[in-house]
Structure 1
Amino acid sequence: MARSLAARIERFPVQGSFTISRGAKTHVDVVVAEVSDGPHTGRGEGTAIYYKGDLAELALAALTGCAGAVAAGAGRADLLALLPAGAARNALDCALWDLEAKQSGRRVWQTLGLPVPQPMLTAYTISLADPAAMAAASAVRGRELLKVKLGGEGGPQADVERMAAVRRAAPDARLIVDANEAWGGTDIERTLRQLAPLGVELVEQPVPAGRDAELEGLNCAVPLAADESCHDRDSLDAIIGRYRFINIKLDKAGGLTEALALRHAAATRGLGVMTGCMLCTSLAIAPAFMVAMQGSYADLDGPLLIEDRPHGLRFEGSDVYPPDAALWG
């Protein structure tokens, strides 16, 4: 049956602003791929990885360039040769998964042999700011797991003060930290020793990608997770012995297909998995849910940080509910 590919960019405003060590964002542009065989249409969404120089416009151009191959029958197995990892391949890969689910009448979780999806605890992100503002954002009741963005002015010692303020404001919350590559060249062991009594469970990416050797031989009081240093299976060898977890994001991996393969490869190497996301809508979180079902931590709050698309995922308390077939898969 003949197939066609349509792609477009959609813009969604951020709720307030989203601030990390690299700056603030007031909106996010996502690229949407739709693959149709006539009776059925599969959809997928990707967010360009800005710190790698990707742009929504570049992702859209890449998708447009694949239209002929998709019409000729290219499937998920062909995407590695068609597109590099990134937003374009993610959007197209997820659209093909969605199309196959609609064609077969089986949900993606059934195809993967997973149990019936259940509501899942997800982290809620606290943007980088001064301690008082971060404490105020953390004090909202009912959030069981907070992911706190650090790497601000004043260096690691000021970050410890930010975390102390967050802990005072949210005494019962579980805490994970994202340093966003900002602690390179500092005494990371000392910072982790100061964070451990605050109950911090995990610290993401303390050093810039490519400088992971700075973590060699550290006695870490809090486990470390690789984010910018781990994109796909080819990244794993460089992080073994330096990190105990990886953060899998479908945009980094280039789709659900590679994300699932990366999760399996990480497990065989004894690495724990957090499933994360870029700023995105529920359409991007739906396939990420399939990976998060098989991991230790979920950080799938992207739709809560923006003005989500209509009929998106249901978030209640600290839980995200599984997608229905009308949204994806």
Structure 2
Amino acid sequence: MAELLTARAERLPLKAPFRISRGVKTHAEVVVAEIRDGDLFGLGECAPYARYGETPDSVLSVLAGAAQGIARGESARAVAQALPAGAARNALDCALWDLEARRSGQAVAARLGHPAPGPMATAVTISLDAPDAMAAAAAASADAPRLKVKLGADDPGARLSAVARAAPGARLIVDPNEGWTVDVLTGLADLIARLPVVMVEQPLPADADAALAGLGYPAPLCADESAHTAADVGRIADRYQVVNVKLDKAGGLTEALAMAAEARRLGLGLMAGCMVSSSLAIAPALWIGAGADAVDLDGPWWLTRDRPGGCRVVRGVLHPPQPGFWGDPGSRP
């Protein structure tokens, strides 16, 4: 029986506004791809990202084109591989991993030859806000081992210091989301050296990060927007010490695994990241998290309600979804 691809957009309410240097959101805007083969079906979720010119409608349009190719008899895997890296390919690629597990009776763990990912510490994100509000959010999550602190160029030192005081036992990931200049970055070096900062993620705009080459800094610098796929890793290896691998950037688990392998080959550290999303997007990303130095997969933690049987974040520890949720031939929760 021929495979059939469909897709739908969903708006998932957040329990609090999620602010970064580029803006604020109150809902996670996601697209779910479903590919069927008879009675079996696989699911994949992506989060279209305006930073890369993506919207739910644009992703649905790309997936509609992919569905037409599959309906004409083209291999779904070949159709997925022909798509550009990004959210649409991520949804289809992950849906195919899920379908292939159910069709073959082999979980992703067996196909990759690795144990299924277990619980792992994840950073809990502190959204950009006034210093006292960020301190209150940090205090509420002070038992998490790592906090990811969203910052902009407006008095970042005060905000970072407020978080550090409110959660003195947490290690900190600083994330300006391309919102700084070289002067801001170097001006904060002394403060960052005094605080338990484990890395600074994408401090400069991706098109201005050549200034980071050879820059000595008290914390490792992590590429996010500057590196989407495996082909990008070598280009930025002289500017960063860590690479953030996100399935929505890479275009699915297939490319994310290749990107992680290339980062390791070049001696770079590895971070597993995500967009604000449900556990359906996080389940495949756990395979990157299992081999990463740092994990930032708290997307579902922001939702008022996650999908049944999904991941749980308890005191900064991410617990995998129930058996059968994704990439497992067992019954869905």
Both structures adopt the same fold (TM-score exceeding 0.5): yes
Corresponding position: 1:260 with 2:261: no
Amino acid at match of 2:160: M
Per the normalisation by structure 1, the TM-score is 0.95
Alignment gaps of 5+ in structure 1: none
Distance 1:74 1:193 in 2: 55
Equivalent position SS for 2:188: helix
Give the structure 1 partner of residue 310 of structure 2.
312
Distance 2:13 2:310 in 1: 15
Contact 2:144 2:315 survives alignment (8 Å): yes
Residue by residue, what CA displacement relative to the aligned partner does 1:48-82 show, whole Å, maximum 9, x if unpaired? 1211111011101110111132342524354232x
Distance 1:114 1:220 in 2: 36
Give the structure 1 partner of residue 320 of structure 2.
322
Where does 1:140-155 land on structure 2 (aligned, <5 Å)? 140=140, 141-153=142-154
Distance 1:264 1:324 in 2: 27
Alignment gaps of 5+ in structure 2: 328-333
Distance 2:58 2:184 in 1: 39
Contact 1:129 1:152 survives alignment (8 Å): no
Contact 2:66 2:79 survives alignment (8 Å): no
Contact 1:193 1:222 survives alignment (8 Å): no
Give the structure 1 partner of residue 160 of structure 2.
163
Corresponding position: 1:283 with 2:280: yes
Distance 2:130 2:9 in 1: 34
- Once the two structures are TM-superposed, the CA of residue 84 in structure 1 deviates from its matched residue by 1.1
- Once the two structures are TM-superposed, the CA of residue 187 in structure 1 deviates from its matched residue by 4.7
Distance 1:148 1:263 in 2: 24
Q: Which aligned segments of 4 or more residues in structure 1 are displaced greater than 4 angstroms?
A: none
Corresponding position: 1:93 with 2:90: no
Distance 2:206 2:258 in 1: 22
- Once the two structures are TM-superposed, the CA of residue 8 in structure 1 deviates from its matched residue by 0.6
Give the structure 2 partner of residue 55 of structure 1.
55
Distance 1:239 1:193 in 2: 25
Residue by residue, what CA displacement relative to the aligned partner does 1:5-64 show, whole Å, maximum 9, x if unpaired? 111101101212000001110112211100111121000000112111110111011101
Distance 1:266 1:29 in 2: 29
Distance 2:149 2:268 in 1: 22
Give the structure 2 partner of residue 80 of structure 1.
81
Amino acid at match of 2:255: E
Corresponding position: 1:127 with 2:127: yes
Equivalent position SS for 1:210: helix
Distance 2:15 2:254 in 1: 31
Amino acid at match of 2:49: I
Equivalent position SS for 1:218: coil
Give the structure 2 partner of residue 272 of structure 1.
269
Where does 1:144-293 land on structure 2 (aligned, <5 Å)? 144-153=145-154, 158-293=155-290
Amino acid at match of 1:115: P
Name the stretch that deviates more: 110-119 or 198-207.
Answer: 110-119
Give the structure 1 partner of residue 330 of structure 2.
none
Contact 1:189 1:218 survives alignment (8 Å): no
Distance 1:237 1:77 in 2: 26
Distance 2:184 2:298 in 1: 31
Amino acid at match of 1:28: A
- Once the two structures are TM-superposed, the CA of residue 236 in structure 1 deviates from its matched residue by 1.6
Distance 1:99 1:181 in 2: 37
Amino acid at match of 1:146: L
Equivalent position SS for 1:129: coil
Give the structure 2 partner of residue 110 of structure 1.
110
Amino acid at match of 1:145: R
- Once the two structures are TM-superposed, the CA of residue 258 in structure 1 deviates from its matched residue by 0.4
Equivalent position SS for 1:241: coil
Give the structure 1 partner of residue 43 of structure 2.
43
Per the normalisation by structure 2, the TM-score is 0.94
Residue by residue, what CA displacement relative to the aligned partner does 1:282-307 show, whole Å, maximum 9, x if unpaired? 00000000111111111000011122
Distance 1:204 1:13 in 2: 26
Residue by residue, what CA displacement relative to the aligned partner does 1:228-283 show, whole Å, maximum 9, x if unpaired? 00100121232111100011110000000000000001110011111100111000
RMSD (CA atoms): 1.4
Name the stretch that deviates more: 314-323 or 241-250.
Answer: 314-323
Contact 2:69 2:79 survives alignment (8 Å): no
- Once the two structures are TM-superposed, the CA of residue 152 in structure 1 deviates from its matched residue by 4.2
Distance 1:30 1:297 in 2: 24
Amino acid at match of 1:54: E
Distance 1:298 1:60 in 2: 29
Amino acid at match of 1:321: H
Pairs aligned (count): 324
Contact 2:138 2:167 survives alignment (8 Å): yes
